[in-house]
């Protein structure tokens, strides 16, 4: 069974909420990313999202844009990310999703890219700029590889499109809780409960809510209306602040541990 599907099944059986952590691969370098992946597994992270560095990350705010720049500056490539995932798999079975822009799949060849990520031990892809209507045989290739194709739904998505998107997703639905790009926010959206209820009318998949969740209190609040909470920019910001510190991994692990604890206590 796919690791993402298996993890959410176990969470449901245990009556627990899931925690999804996002970091930029190669920030500050790929070995640090490998160590952080292992540390997040220890801290109780349920799914790890790895942003593959890209020169034009349209869906990302400043914090994650800078992480992508640092990843590119450290020499990180898609092939390097997959080699790092192979190393993680020697120590951990944490479910891993690649957060990626379609140009990287297009350049490699969609079928080739999917086969390579499967062989490396990746469990799913979140292709930020690939709408279902434009996906051609992407979903079929993902299904044949046993990988989860994760789709985004936004506050501005009309119900007719939710009805189209939700049945075609696998693993979980990523609900973007606010309009715009990724980033830390002082206040979470007050429409999360309404929107997750609307999405549930069209799917039995778990719903993970992200974009703007920045601290344990917000994570706990969001978890009450979702099966999982996604935190990215707040974690990436910690990496930016402590990237040159020998205690980077331990510091970020503590920060993430508090977010996990809050999510699980919802």
Residues acting as catalytic residues = 49, 60
DSSP E strands: which ranges in 70-139? 96-100, 124-127
209 phi, psi to nearest 5 deg: -110, 130
- Beta-bridged to residue 148, according to DSSP, are 124
Q: Is 259 exposed, middle or buried (0-12, 13-18, 19+ CB in 10 A)?
A: buried
Within a 10 A sphere around the Cβ of 64, how many other Cβ atoms? 24
Helix (H) or strand (E) holding 40: helix 30-43
Locate 258 and state its tokens.
Answer: 């508090």
13 phi, psi to nearest 5 deg: -65, -35
Instruction: Please check whether residue 189 is in contact with residue 196, taking contact to mean a CB–CB distance below 8 angstroms.
Output: no
The whole-angstrom separation of Cα 258 and Cα 255 is 6
Spatial strand order in the sheet of 173-176: 148-149, 124-127, 96-100, 47-51, 18-24, 228-231, 207-210, 173-176, 151-153
Within a 10 A sphere around the Cβ of 31, how many other Cβ atoms? 12
184 phi, psi to nearest 5 deg: -75, 145
- Helix (H, G, I), strand (E, B), or coil: what is residue 59? coil
């Amino acid at each position: 069974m796919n690791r993402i599907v298996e993890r959410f099944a176990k969470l449901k059986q245990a009556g627990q909420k899931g925690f999804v952590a996002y970091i930029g691969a190669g920030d500050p370098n790929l070995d640090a990313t490998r160590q952080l992946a292992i540390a997040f597994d220890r801290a109780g992270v349920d799914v790890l999202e790895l942003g593959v560095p890209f020169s034009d990350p349209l869906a990302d705010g400043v914090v994650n844009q800078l992480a992508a720049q640092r990843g590119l500056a450290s020499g990180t490539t898609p092939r390097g990310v997959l080699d790092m995932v192979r190393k993680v798999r020697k120590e951990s079975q944490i479910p891993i999703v690649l957060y990626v822009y379609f140009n990287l799949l297009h350049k490699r060849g969609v079928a080739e890219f999917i086969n390579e990520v499967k062989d490396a031990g990746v469990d799913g892809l979140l292709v930020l700029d690939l709408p279902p209507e434009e996906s051609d045989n992407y979903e079929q290739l993902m299904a044949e590889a046993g990988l989860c194709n994760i789709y985004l739904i936004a506050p501005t998505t009309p119900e007719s499109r939710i009805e189209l998107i939700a049945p075609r997703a696998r693993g979980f639905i990523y609900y973007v809780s606010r309009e715009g790009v990724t980033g830390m926010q002082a206040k979470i959206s007050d429409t999360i409960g309404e929107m997750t209820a609307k999405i549930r009318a069209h799917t039995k998949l778990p719903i993970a809510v992200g974009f703007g969740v920045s601290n344990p209190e917000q994570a706990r609040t969001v978890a009450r209306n979702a099966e999982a909470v996604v935190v990215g920019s707040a974690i990436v910001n910690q990496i930016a602040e402590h990237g040159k510190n020998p205690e980077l991994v331990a510091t970020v692990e503590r920060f993430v541990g508090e977010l996990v604890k809050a999510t699980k206590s919802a």
